[in-house]
Chain A
Amino acid sequence: MLRVVAVASSDGWAFVEDGGRLFLVRPPFTAASKAEVSDAVVARAVSEHGFNATDREFGSWGELIGFLEEGITSHAAPALSRFERLQRMLPHATAEVVDLYLDRIESELLPQGQWRPARLLLEQLLVLDGVTTRPALLKRAVGLLGECTAAETTAMDAREELVHDPDLLAERVPLAAAKYGATALARYLRGTAPG
């Protein structure tokens, strides 16, 4: 049984007693973010750092983490949209962060066909002063945007070909075509936007 002895709900931090030992638990709720502490740490946290003393039991870590995550969202201001988050956060990115983003776009998003998030990120990165004033970063970002556009265009062309050619579609996805009919499947695909 896990017993929460103090909690700061808005941040998802808690002091938890487990088997007679006290732990500080906090996001991202990994082993590395969990630290064993003494009672004195809890006393100071409650008296001066905004934690509330409590006495609440949970049957499992999953249940406890669910409770803490719910605390974070229930105390939060209205959420920003995805676009707002990108637009307001990215200007604070260092050159190292931008470089890491470009690495991840290249090694994760593009190979996985996630063109929309790749394009969203690249378009936001390309207007940052921290990128436009660094020729190497700018060149790399422009190059990746070009790759993204080319790959997306190729994929869309291939898709166009498929949705207008039920025979080709049946050849590519025989089981789905057998189940739903190639013409119906093509009609369905025409009505859905590419991911």
Chain B
Amino acid sequence: MGRDGRVAINMRLSVLAGFLEQGRHLNVYEWATAEAARTGAKREGVLRAKLGRFYERLMAFEAGFERGEEFRYGALNMEGCGVCHYGEFCTVYRSDFPAASEVAYLRGDSLRKYVSADAKVDDVAVRRDAAPHGRRQCLATMKHSADVVSTEQSRWPDLLCSNSDHAPDFVEAVFVGEATCAGLQAARVPQGEHDRYFADLFEESRGALSAARGSLLDTFIRVKEHLDALGVPLEVIADA
């Protein structure tokens, strides 16, 4: 499943729970708009408070595009658990999402590769590297041309989406269009994370689970029940 290269977004447990409960994924602008409406604060102030010193860099990248505020970011995924630094659950979307005309792929994390520390965007590099949906495999192959031949095919998903320390490496999918639960094909979780919830449940049976771990366990239970209700499998992926 997903060998042909799907868009995936990693989410932490509570983010996934919120996504499944509300049915849609909010980008930072949508979140700020909702937060501003809720609190009566100005949206820009909400954004500045949330993004802190990263505000200028994010604004710089998205301001350079039409519909930049609608952007969502994912990673090209052909199996595996995605970019775990951002969340242990990897939500994988069906092949028809996002629509081919509404997604572009970049060689890596756009904020790292194309935006300098002083918030200057390297437009030339963005134009050079961007690939449309139909060419995503070419982009991935060119990016990994030096390693792919010497890497066993079974390890290609890890090559495409590497969780090495310091900076995970992936082909970034930048897309517009609402990410909803209806587009979900599967959610994946590393074996170790999955097993930990069952180890916690065992501890809970003898009253030895901390309040914090109990809260996480409750959220995991809700997530699993929502996924079941949607008919979306939670795939447990063996740890690398």
Residues of A near any B CB (own CB < 8 A): 5-6, 8, 10-13, 24, 27-28, 35-38, 40-50, 52-55, 68-70, 72-73, 75-77, 79-80, 82, 85-86, 88-90, 92-94, 97, 100-101, 104, 109, 114, 117, 120-121
Contact = CB atoms under 8 A, between A and B. Distances in A.
Interface residues of B, number: 55
Overall SS of chain B's interface: helix
A72 B48 CA distance: 24
A47 B221 contact: no
Given A11-B14, A85-B218, A48 B27 contact: yes
A93 B198 contact: yes
A109 B187 CA distance: 34
Contacts of B218: 76-77, 79-80, 85
B205 A121 contact: yes
B219 A47 contact: no
A132 to B, nearest CB: 19
B168 interface: yes
A38 B166 contact: yes
Contact of B111 (A37, A43, A77): A43
A47 B215 contact: no
Contacts of A40: 109, 111-112, 167
Contacts of A24: 85
The 3 closest A-B pairs by CB, nearest first: A53-B52, A40-B112, A76-B215
B58 A47 contact: yes
Interface string B182-214: 000000000000011110011011110011111
Given A44-B86, A45-B86, A89 B221 contact: yes
B54 A50 contact: no
Given A11-B14, A28-B213, A37-B85, A97 B198 contact: yes
